[in-house]
C-alpha cells in the first residue's frame, strides 16, 4: 500500500500550494474540499501491481463456418508477482456468453511442463448462482473458469496453461450489438472478435466485482498487457487480420490460408475473418489498409478516409510523439456496430463506408469525419484503469479529434457540443462521482474540460504535458491521478483545484451582467462593468465592449456566488457590454431551466432507469410544453420502454408534426409510429405508415442507430421490411 499512501500525501500537500496564476487562484478556491476528501474521491483505485499476471499468449484460431463454430487453443504464461503461493486461478472465457448469443465448450485445460501437456481438472461455475437458470451466463451472473495449480505457483515462478475450447453461435440470424459470427452475404460468413468480450481466456479474480466495476461504474480494473502471437486458419477465399498485429507469415494449406501475427505493443488481440476487399492508401510515412465488404462501399469516401487518417497520423505524431508502427488497419465488419479502437487499427461498421464524401465536407471545403480519427487517437494513450478511465481514454481521444478538426478543417465541435451540453441541462453534472463515472460525459464534457485546461496552460505547456504523459507511461498502465501528476510536474503548478471543479464537481458558472457605466476621463473613456456569478465554479469568459463602429474584447472570471466590478479603458464611449457574445464559455443559467420538460428529459440518460423517470413525469399537459422533436423522440422511446404504447404513439405523432422539413426526423417519427401500431395490434395502420417512409425514398447512406435497443437501419429499406414482417419488441440494453 506504499504507493497509495504517497499519492494521498502528495495531493493533500499540493492543495496547500495553489498557484495564484489564473482563474483558479487561491482566493477563488477556498471552497475546495480538504486533501483527505479529495484523496477519497480522486486517488482511489490506484491499485498495486497485479499479484498474478499473464505475460504471454500463443493463440491458434481455426474456423468451422458450416457449424458457426470457432476452434481455439490458447496457451498462456502466468507469473506470480505476489508474496504468497497461488493455488488456483480464475479465468473469464466469454463469461457473459448468453449476452453474446454464444456457447463455450471447454474440451480440456492442461499444464505444460517441458512442452508436455498434463491435463488438470477445472470447474466452470457461477460465483453467486441466480434463482432463474436462464440468467446464467449473463453479465450479472458470469461464468467463472477455475483452474487449480498443483503444485501451487510460488513467488516469482511461472507456469504455462493450455486451453482447448470451442465457441459456437447457435443462431447467427439474431441481430445483436456484437455478432461474433455473422452472414453479410448468403453463403459467406464473417468473424469479428473485439476486445469488448473475452473470446480468449483472461485472468479474472473476483469476476462479478470486475463486471460491476467495468460495466456499471465505468471504472476499468487493471489488467495485464501480455505480448502475444496469433495464428489464423480460415477458408482461402476469406481475408484474415489481427487488427493491432504485425503479420509474420502467410501461406496456403490446401483450401485454407494460415497466417501468423505478433503483437507490437502487447494487450488484447482483435480478429477479423471474412469476405472482404483489400484497399490501400499509402505515403512514405504511413500506410492505411482497409478490409471492406465486397462491392458494397463508396470508394471515393474510403479514399477520403484514408487521406484523413494519414494526415491525422502526422499531426498526432507532432502533438503526442511517434507511433510504434506505420501501418493502420481499418476493418469494416457487418456484424459489429459502431467504432472500436485497436493499436494502429480499428473496426468501423460496414454501413459507415457507404456514405458519400460530400456529406462530410466542412465550411473550409475539406473532408472530415470523426470516427476513424477518434479510433486512431486511442493508439496514443497508455492503458488506463481505476476511476476516471473513460476520461483518460475517450476524453483524450475526442479532444485530439476535435482539436484537429478545429485547427486544420474549420470545424469547431467544441463549441457545438458545449451548447448542446448546456441546452440539454447536463452541464452541471460531474464527470466522475462516487457511484460511477458518467460514460457519455467522457465523450462530450471531457474533451471540453481538456480544452479548458489547454486554454489555462497555454498551447506550449499543454502539448508538452501530453507528450510527457505518453512518453512516461507508454505501453504501461496509468491512473487519473498519474495524469494530474504529469500536469503538475510539467507546468510547475497544482492542477487539482481545476480537476476537482470540472471532473468531480457539479460545475457550471452562470455569469450575468449587473450593469455598466462609461465615463470620459483624461482623453479616454473609463468603463466599469459589474458581473455576477450565480452558478457553480469559475471559468474564463469573454466580454465584448461595444462602441460606435467598433468593439473591444476582454476576458474576465468571477468566483461562484460573488459579484465583481471590472474597469476598462476604451477610445470611445461604451454603449453596450455583452457577456460571452459567441457562447464559447462553459457557463449558463441553469436554474431557470430546471422545471422545463426539455431540460428534465435531456438531463437523463438512455437506459431503463432514466426512461422510468421520464415516463413517470409524462402527462398531456407536460407534452404540450415540448417543441423540440428530439426531446419528443426521447420521451416516446421512454414510454415505449415502459410498454405504454398508446402514449408513445401520441408522442411520435407529435414528433412528426414538429419535425419540420427534416426528412430524417420525419422518417424516424413514422417508423416508430408504425412500431407502436404493430405492438397495439393495428397492423393495417402500421403498414400504411411504413408505406409513407418507403415513398420518402431516403438515401441508402442515411443510417439511423438506436444503440440502447440494438437497432440500426436505413429508413426506407427498413420500412419496406416492416411492411412484410411486423415489428417485434426489442429490449433496452442499458441500465444507465
583-618, pLDDT tens digit by residue? 788 887 554 555 678 778 877 778 899 999 999 989
- Cell 493463440 belongs to which residue? 59
Using pLDDT thresholds of 50, 70 and 90, give the confidence band for residue 12: very low
How confident is the model over 382-402, as a mean pLDDT? 88
Give 310-333 pLDDT, tens digit per residue: 999 999 999 999 999 999 999 999
The band of 206, judged by pLDDT with boundaries at 50, 70 and 90, is low
Q: Is the pLDDT of residue 647 over 90?
A: yes
The SS3 of residue 275 is coil
Q: Assess whether pLDDT exceeds 60 at residue 483.
A: yes
In this structure, is the dihedral angle defined by the CA atoms of residues 572, 573, 579 and 583, taken in order, positive or negative? negative
Q: How far apart are alpha carbons 451 and 456 in whole angstroms?
A: 9
pLDDT of residue 152: 93
pLDDT tens, residue by residue, 514-541? 999 999 888 889 999 999 998 888 999 9
What pLDDT is recorded for position 146? 94
- Among residues 422, 423, 456, the alpha carbon closest in space to that of 557 is found at 456
State the CB neighbour count (10 A cutoff) for residue 251.
9
Least confident of 287-291, 610-614, 627-631, 687-691: 627-631
Q: What pLDDT shows up at residue 207?
A: 65
What's the confidence (pLDDT) of residue 447? 95
Angstrom CA distances, 364 to 245, 307, 663, stand at 36, 16, 26
Q: Decide: 509 and 538 in contact? Cβ < 8 Å.
A: yes
pLDDT, mean of residues 71-87 = 94
Confidence class of residue 687 from pLDDT cuts 50, 70 and 90?
very high
| Cell 440539454 sits on residue | 424
The pLDDT of residue 41 is 42
Q: How confident is the model at residue 127 (pLDDT cuts 50, 70, 90)?
A: confident
C-alpha to C-alpha distance for 209 and 582, rounded to whole angstroms: 46
- The strand pairing partners of 273, in sequence order, are 191, 240
**Range with the lowest mean pLDDT among 91-105, 196-210, 495-509, 603-617?**
196-210
Mean local confidence (pLDDT), 3-30 = 33
How confident is residue 42, by pLDDT bands cut at 50, 70 and 90?
Answer: very low
Which residue is it, cell 508474496? 83
Q: What percent of the chain has pLDDT over 70?
A: 89
In this predicted structure, what is the pLDDT of residue 258? 98
**pLDDT surpassing 70 at residue 18:** no
Residue 427 has a pLDDT of 67
Judge whether residue 701 has pLDDT over 70: no
Bond prior to 151 in cis (omega within 30° of 0): yes
Nearest CA among 500, 475, 463 for reference residue 37: 500
Q: Which residues of 109-120 are buried (b: 16+ CB within 10 A; e: fewer)?
A: bbbeeeeebeeb
CA angle 510, 516, 517 (to 5 degrees): 170
Q: Average per-residue pLDDT in the chain?
A: 86
Residue 211 confidence (pLDDT): 67
Average pLDDT over residues 717-726: 94
> pLDDT at position 16, please?
27
Confidence of residue 659 (pLDDT cuts 50, 70, 90): confident
Contact 544, 553 (CB under 8 A): yes
Query: Does the pLDDT of residue 138 top 80, yes or no?
Result: yes
| Rounded mean pLDDT, 428-432 | 78
Q: What is the pLDDT of residues 100-109, one digit of tens each?
A: 999 999 999 9
What's the whole-number mean pLDDT along residues 443-452? 93
What does DSSP say about strands 524-533 and 563-570: parallel, antiparallel, or unpaired? Answer: antiparallel
Distance CA 656, CA 648 (A): 12
What cell numbers appear for 130 in the block?
441466480
For residue 136, the SS3 value is coil
pLDDT of residue 204: 81
pLDDT at 7: 31
pLDDT for the residue numbered 498: 92
DSSP per-residue codes, 166-198: EEE-S-TTS--SB-SEEEEETTEEEEEE-TTS-
Higher pLDDT, 158 or 549: 158
Higher pLDDT, 670 or 39: 670
pLDDT of residue 109: 97
Please give the pLDDT value at position 21. 36
* Residue 5 reports pLDDT greater than 50: no
Mean pLDDT on 386-410: 92
Contact 214, 220 (CB under 8 A): yes
Phi/psi for 53 (5° steps) reads -140, 140
Q: Parallel, antiparallel, or unpaired for β 327-331 and 345-348?
A: parallel
**CA 468, CA 320: separation in Å to the nearest integer?**
8
DSSP assignments along 99-129, one per residue? HHT-EEEEEEEEEEETTEEEEE--EEEESS-
Per-residue confidence band for 621, with pLDDT thresholds at 50, 70 and 90: confident
Largest CA distance in the chain: 95
| Residue 616 backbone phi and psi in degrees, to 5 | -70, -25
> What tens digit of pLDDT does each residue of 335-360 get?
887 889 999 999 999 989 998 998 89
Helices (H), 212-349: 299-320
Amino acid at each position: 500500500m506504499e504507493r497509495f499512501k504517497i499519492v494521498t500525501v502528495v495531493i493533500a500537500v499540493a492543495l496547500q500550494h495553489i498557484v495564484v496564476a489564473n482563474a483558479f487562484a487561491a482566493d477563488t478556491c477556498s471552497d475546495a474540499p480538504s486533501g483527505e476528501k479529495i484523496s477519497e474521491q480522486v486517488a482511489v483505485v490506484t491499485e498495486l501491481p497485479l499479484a498474478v499476471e499473464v505475460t504471454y499468449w500463443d493463440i491458434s484460431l481455426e474456423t468451422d463456418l458450416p457449424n458457426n463454430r470457432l476452434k481455439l487453443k490458447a496457451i498462456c504464461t502466468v507469473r506470480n508477482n505476489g508474496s504468497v503461493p497461488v493455488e488456483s486461478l480464475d479465468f473469464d472465457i466469454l463469461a457473459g456468453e448468453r449476452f453474446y448469443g454464444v456457447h463455450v465448450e471447454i474440451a480440456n485445460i492442461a499444464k505444460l511442463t517441458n512442452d508436455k501437456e498434463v491435463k488438470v481438472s477445472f470447474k466452470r461455475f457461477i460465483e453467486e448462482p441466480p434463482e432463474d437458470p436462464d440468467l446464467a451466463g449473463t453479465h450479472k451472473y458470469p461464468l467463472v473458469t477455475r483452474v487449480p495449480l498443483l503444485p501451487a505457483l510460488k513467488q516469482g515462478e511461472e507456469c504455462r496453461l493450455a486451453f482447448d475450447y470451442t465457441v459456437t453461435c447457435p443462431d447467427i440470424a439474431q441481430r445483436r450489438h456484437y455478432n461474433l459470427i455473422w452472414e453479410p452475404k448468403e453463403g459467406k460468413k464473417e468473424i469479428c472478435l473485439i476486445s469488448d468480450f473475452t473470446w480468449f481466456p483472461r485472468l479474472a479474480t473476483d469476476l462479478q466485482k470486475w463486471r460491476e466495476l467495468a460495466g456499471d461504474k465505468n471504472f476499468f480494473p487493471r489488467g495485464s498487457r501480455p505480448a502475444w502471437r496469433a495464428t489464423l486458419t480460415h477458408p482461402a477465399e476469406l481475408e484474415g487480420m489481427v487488427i493491432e498485429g504485425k503479420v509474420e507469415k502467410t501461406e496456403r494449406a490446401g483450401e485454407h490460408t494460415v497466417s501468423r501475427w505478433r503483437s507490437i505493443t502487447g494487450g488484447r488481440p482483435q480478429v477479423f475473418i471474412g469476405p472482404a476487399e483489400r484497399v490501400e492508401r499509402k505515403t512514405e510515412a504511413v500506410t492505411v489498409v482497409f478490409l471492406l465488404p465486397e462491392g458494397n462501399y463508396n470508394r471515393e469516401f474510403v479514399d477520403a478516409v484514408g487521406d484523413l487518417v494519414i494526415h491525422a497520423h502526422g499531426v498526432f505524431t507532432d502533438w503526442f510523439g511517434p507511433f510504434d508502427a506505420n501501418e493502420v488497419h481499418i476493418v469494416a465488419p457487418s456484424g459489429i456496430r459502431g467504432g472500436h479502437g485497436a493499436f494502429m487499427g480499428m473496426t468501423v461498421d460496414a454501413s459507415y463506408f457507404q456514405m458519400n464524401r460530400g456529406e462530410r465536407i466542412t465550411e473550409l471545403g475539406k473532408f472530415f469525419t470523426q470516427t476513424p480519427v477518434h479510433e486512431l487517437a486511442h493508439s496514443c494513450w497508455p492503458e488506463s484503469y481505476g476511476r476516471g478511465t473513460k476520461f483518460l481514454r475517450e476524453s483524450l481521444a475526442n479532444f485530439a479529434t476535435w482539436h484537429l478538426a478545429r485547427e486544420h478543417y474549420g470545424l469547431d465541435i467544441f463549441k457545438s457540443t458545449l451548447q448542446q451540453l448546456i441546452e440539454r441541462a447536463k452541464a452541471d453534472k460531474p464527470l466522475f462521482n462516487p457511484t460511477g463515472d458518467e460514460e457519455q460525459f467522457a465523450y462530450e464534457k471531457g474533451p471540453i474540460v481538456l480544452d479548458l485546461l489547454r486554454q489555462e496552460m497555454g498551447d506550449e505547456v499543454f502539448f508538452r504535458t501530453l507528450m510527457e504523459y505518453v512518453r512516461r507511461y507508454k505501453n504501461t498502465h496509468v491512473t487519473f491521478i498519474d495524469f494530474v501528476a504529469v500536469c503538475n510536474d510539467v507546468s510547475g503548478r497544482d492542477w487539482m483545484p481545476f480537476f476537482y471543479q470540472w471532473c468531480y464537481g457539479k460545475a457550471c458558472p452562470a455569469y450575468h451582467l449587473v450593469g455598466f457605466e462609461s465615463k470620459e476621463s483624461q482623453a479616454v473613456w473609463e468603463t466599469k462593468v459589474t458581473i455576477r456569478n450565480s452558478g457553480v465554479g469559475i471559468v474564463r469568459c469573454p466580454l465584448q465592449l461595444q462602441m460606435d463602429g467598433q468593439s473591444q474584447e476582454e476576458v474576465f472570471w468571477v468566483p461562484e456566488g460573488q459579484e465583481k466590478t471590472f474597469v476598462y479603458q476604451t477610445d470611445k464611449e461604451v454603449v453596450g457590454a455583452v457577456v460571452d457574445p459567441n457562447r464559447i464559455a462553459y457557463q449558463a443559467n441553469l436554474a431557470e431551466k430546471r422545471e422545463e420538460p426539455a431540460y428534465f428529459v435531456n438531463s437523463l440518460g438512455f437506459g431503463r432507469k432514466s426512461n422510468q423517470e421520464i415516463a413517470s413525469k409524462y402527462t398531456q399537459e407536460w407534452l404540450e410544453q415540448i417543441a423540440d422533436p428530439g426531446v419528443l423522440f426521447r420521451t416516446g422511446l421512454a414510454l415505449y420502454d415502459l410498454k405504454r404504447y398508446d402514449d408513445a404513439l401520441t408522442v411520435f405523432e407529435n414528433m412528426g408534426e414538429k419535425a419540420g422539413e427534416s426528412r430524417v426526423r420525419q422518417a424516424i417519427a413514422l417508423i416508430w409510429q408504425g412500431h407502436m401500431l404493430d405492438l397495439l395490434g393495428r397492423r393495417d395502420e402500421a403498414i400504411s405508415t411504413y408505406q409513407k417512409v418507403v415513398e420518402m425514398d431516403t438515401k441508402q447512406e442515411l443510417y439511423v442507430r438506436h444503440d440502447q435497443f440494438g437497432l440500426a437501419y436505413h429508413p426506407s429499406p427498413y420500412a419496406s421490411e416492416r411492411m412484410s414482417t411486423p415489428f417485434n419488441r426489442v429490449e433496452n440494453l442499458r441500465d444507465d
